[in-house]
Amino acid sequence: MAGVAIAALLCLWGSFASYGVEADFQKEYRDPYLISAQFARFGGALSSIPENARIGYITDTPPGSAANSAMFLGAQYVLAPRLLIRGAGEALVLGNFTRPADFASVGRSQGLRLQQDFGQGVVLFRKEPGA
C-alpha cells in the first residue's frame, strides 16, 4: 500500500513539475511562427477572397525549406476555409513573399496579372486568359 501511495505522489509531483515547465516555456516562446501576426497581414486578402474559393499559392522561399512550410501552413490556417493549392494553376493566386519585389513582373513570369497588393508581401494575382 505504501508503494502505491508513493507512486501516486510521484505522479502528482511530476504533473505539477511538467505544468510549471510548460507554463515557463509558453511565457518565453508565445508564438514562434508569428501565426497571430498573420491575421493582420492577410486581413485585406481575407475580405477580397470568397470563403469557398480555391486559391493558388506562390512564394519566394525555397521549396521544401522550413520557412516555406511555415509560411504556407500559416497562410492556410489564417485563410481557412479557403483552400490553398501550391502553384499558379488556379484562377486566383495568393503571393506570400518575404521581401519586396516587382510583384507584377513575378506574376507575369507565371502567366498571372497583379490584381491587388495588400502590403507586407501579400499579393493577389489573377490568372491571365489563355495562360
pTM: 0.74
Given a cut of 80, whether residue 130 has pLDDT beyond it is: no
Q: What is the CA radius of gyration of the chain?
A: 22
Per-residue model confidence (pLDDT) at position 36: 78
Give the domain range for residue 4: 1-30
Per-residue model confidence (pLDDT) at position 22: 82
Same-domain pairing of 40 and 103: yes
Same-domain pairing of 83 and 101: yes
Q: CB 84: neighbour CB atoms within 10 A? A: 21
Give the up-direction half-sphere exposure of residue 51: CA atoms within 13 A in the CB hemisphere: 1
Residue 122 confidence class, pLDDT cut points 50, 70, 90: very high
Query: Are 78 and 46 within 8 A, CB to CB?
Result: yes
By the 10 Å C-beta count (0-12 exposed, 13-18 middle, 19+ buried), 113 is classed as: middle
Same-domain pairing of 18 and 66: no
Q: What is the pLDDT of residues 54-112, one digit of tens each?
A: 999 999 999 999 889 989 999 999 999 999 999 999 999 999 999 999 999 999 999 99
Query: Are 88 and 125 within 8 A, CB to CB?
Result: yes
Q: What is the pLDDT of residues 8-56, one digit of tens each?
A: 999 999 998 888 888 887 777 777 667 778 888 999 999 899 999 999 9
What's the length of the chain? Answer: 131
Total structural domains within the chain: 2
